[in-house]
Amino acid sequence: MRIVSAYLIGLVFGLGIVISGMANPAKVLNFFDIAGTWDPSLIFVMGGALAVAAIGYRIVLRRPAPALADSFQIPTRRDLDLRLIAGAAIFGIGWGIAGFCPGGALPALGTGRIEVAVFVAAVVAGILAARLMPKPGAAAQRKQ
Amino acid sequence: METDFTPLPSFAGGLLIGLSAVLLMALLGRIAGATGILSGVVTPSGIREWSWRAAMVAGMASAPTAVLLVTGTLPEITVPVPLAYLVVGGVIVGFGASLGNGCTSGHGVCGMARLSPRSIVATLVFMATTGATVFVIRHILGG
């Protein structure tokens, strides 16, 4: 049941991505190219997604638990740290170079295009490289 | 290269992305962040944590086929950059999103929808650096 649900939720996500244009790097890069061939379409993606998620989360999170799991797993940290800001800044540089983000590329994988597979393989390499970085908790422990 | 302004399909697609985030929270209690999900697939911690993420990635990758079955054509994907940009950009994307605990879907949609201060700051930061990177490549380096 969890597996079938996750598959169908992934399909809904993927349909949203391909219909919206987020799977198309030409469109994504044009969204950021305000000084050039600007295409503001993607602001509508963000608007639609945020409207549904903001309202939906409020309704769903009133329940004691999700339907198919023991508890909601939601990040609780509210502090800002260098790791978050540096990570976001680095991510944006990569997004600007490639035009794909992970949420855009995973659905695009289904087109069978070799470029998409190359990008996703590179993302995986980046994820594995990040795991070699010292964890902030470990650094704090060493200081003590 | 110009692309068509598509406010309606983009908005409709956005609604579906939001819906998937709400469904994942309602059923499995998880944040729908693509980097976190991909990360859980390639660095598994037990079959139970791996299986739903793998199924979700499979569902995402099924979307172009679903579009093909309904409309008769695959969704348009135009890659306006050389393959080397995808390799370099991909590594940077994976590294940065892991370090910062999220990407466009995790911080930009799920976190922003929860009004998480960390996600709001992360989203503003990566939108700024993405825009700056595109500007430098297209208008200063002339790529």
Predicted complex ipTM: 0.97
Task: Report percent pLDDT > 70 for chain A.
Answer: 94
Q: What pLDDT shows up at residue B104?
A: 96
Looking at beta carbons, which residues of chain A come within 8 Å of B20?
9-10, 12-13, 16
- Interface check A33 vs B, CB under 8 A: yes
Q: What percent of chain B has pLDDT over 90?
A: 97
Q: How confident is the model at residue A127 (pLDDT cuts 50, 70, 90)?
A: very high
How far apart are the CA of B69 and the nearest CA of chain A, in angstroms? Answer: 12
A-chain CB neighbours of B3 within 8 Å are 21, 24, 26-27, 30, 37, 39, 41
Distance CA B23, CA B62 (A): 18
Q: pLDDT band for A137, please (50, 70, 90 cuts).
A: low
Residues A51-59 have a mean pLDDT of: 98
- pLDDT, residue A134, reads 78
Whether A122 and chain B come into contact, CB under 8 Å, resolves to yes
Tell me which residue has tokens 């309606």.
B8
Contacts (Cβ under 8 Å, ≥6 apart) of B62: A7, A10, A11, A14, A110
Partner-chain residue, chosen from A33, A87, A124, that has the shortest CB–CB distance to B138: A33
Residue A91 CB-density burial (10 A; 0-12 exposed, 13-18 middle, 19+ buried): buried
Q: Is residue A118 pLDDT above 50, yes or no?
A: yes
Would you say residue A142 has pLDDT above 80? no
Residue type, B125: V
Note the pLDDT tens digit of each residue in B66-108: 999 999 999 999 999 999 999 999 999 999 999 999 999 999 9
Average pLDDT over residues B30-50: 96
- Best probe of the B interface among A5, A7, A15, by most B CBs < 10 A, is A15
Residue B87 and residue B106: Cα distance in Å, rounded? 22
Residues 81-110 in A contacting B (C-alpha not used; CB under 8 Å): 83-104, 106-110
Percent of chain B's residues with pLDDT above 70: 99
Contact residues for B136 (Cβ-Cβ < 8 A; gap 6+): none
Of A26, A136, A93, A47, whose CA–CA distance to B125 is shortest?
A: A93
Q: Are B24 and A9 contacting, i.e. CB atoms less than 8 angstroms apart?
A: yes
Q: Residue A138 pLDDT more than 60?
A: no
Give A49's DSSP letter.
H
Is the pLDDT score of B36 beyond 90? yes
Residues A142 and B86: their CA atoms lie apart, in Å, by 37
Q: Which pLDDT tens digit goes with each residue over B102-131?
A: 999 999 999 999 999 999 999 999 999 999
Q: What is the pLDDT of residue B143?
A: 63
> Which of A27, A23, A45, A46 has the alpha carbon at shortest distance from A37?
A27
Decide if B121 touches A, using CB distance below 8 A. Answer: yes
Name the band, by pLDDT with cuts 50, 70 and 90, for residue A103: very high
Q: What angle do CA A24, A29, A35 make, to 5 degrees?
A: 150
Nearest chain A residue to B77 by CA distance is A24
pLDDT of residue A38: 97
- Looking at chain A, how many residues does it have? 144
DSSP state of B142: -
Averaged pLDDT for residues A25-53: 97
Residue A139 has pLDDT above 80, yes or no: no
Confidence at residue A136, expressed as pLDDT on a 0 to 100 scale: 66
Averaged pLDDT for residues B24-46: 96
pTM greater than the 0.80 cutoff:
yes
